[in-house]
Amino acid sequence: MEAISEADFAALLRHAGLNPAPETIKEMHRVYPRLAAMLLRNRGERERAAEPALTFEVLP
């Protein structure tokens, strides 16, 4: 996953409806690569049809 600029990161936050203070954006941008690495790790390689752990119950 490519590194994300602080401007793109702030845009992502706005996309989620969030507007933190500039210093908070800076701090979150600093730790974001760790989350991005997790996202990448979860992608892994698997069968296209591999099911998630969740199931939908029609009549819970």
Partner 1 sequence: MIPTIAEAARQFETRALSPVELTKACLARIEACDGAINAFLLRTEERALADAKAAEQRMMSGARRGKLDGIPIAHKDIYNTAGIRTTAHSRLLADNVPTQDATTVRKLAEAGTVMLGKLATHEFAWGGPSFDLPWPPARNPWNTDHFTGGSSSGTGAALAAGMILGGTGTDTAGSIRNPAGLCGVVGIKPTYGLCSRGGILPLAHTLDHAGPLAWTVEDCALLLQAMAGYDQADPASANRKVPDFSAKLGAGAQGLRVGVVRHFHERDVAVSDATTRGIEETLGLLQGLGATIRDVTLSPLADYNACGYVIMSAEAFAIHQRWMLTVPGQYGALLRDRLALGGLIGGADYVQAQRRRRELAAEMKAAMEEIDILLCACQPGEAARIDAAPKWSGLETEGFTLPFNVSGYPAISMRAGFGTGGLPVSVQLAAKPFDEATLFQIAHALEQASDWHNRRPSMRRA
Partner 2 sequence: MSEGDEEDFRSALRRAGITVQAERYDVMLAAYRDFQALMACLDEPFAYAVEPACTLQLLPLVAR
Q: Judged by CB, which is closer to partner 1: 2, or 41? A: 41
Tokens 């908070």 correspond to 24
x-or-dash string of contact with partner 1, 35-54, rule CB under 8 A: x-xxx-xxxx-x---xxxxx
Return the one option of partner 1, partner 2, none that residue 8 interacts with (CB less than 5 to 8 A, by type): partner 2
Sort residue 44 into left (φ over 0), alpha (ψ -120 to 50) or beta: left
Q: Are 22 and 14 in contact (CB under 8 A)?
A: no
Tokens at residue 1, please? Answer: 């996953």
x-or-dash string of contact with partner 1, 1-40, rule CB under 8 A: -----------xx--xxx-x---x--xx--xx-xx-xxx-
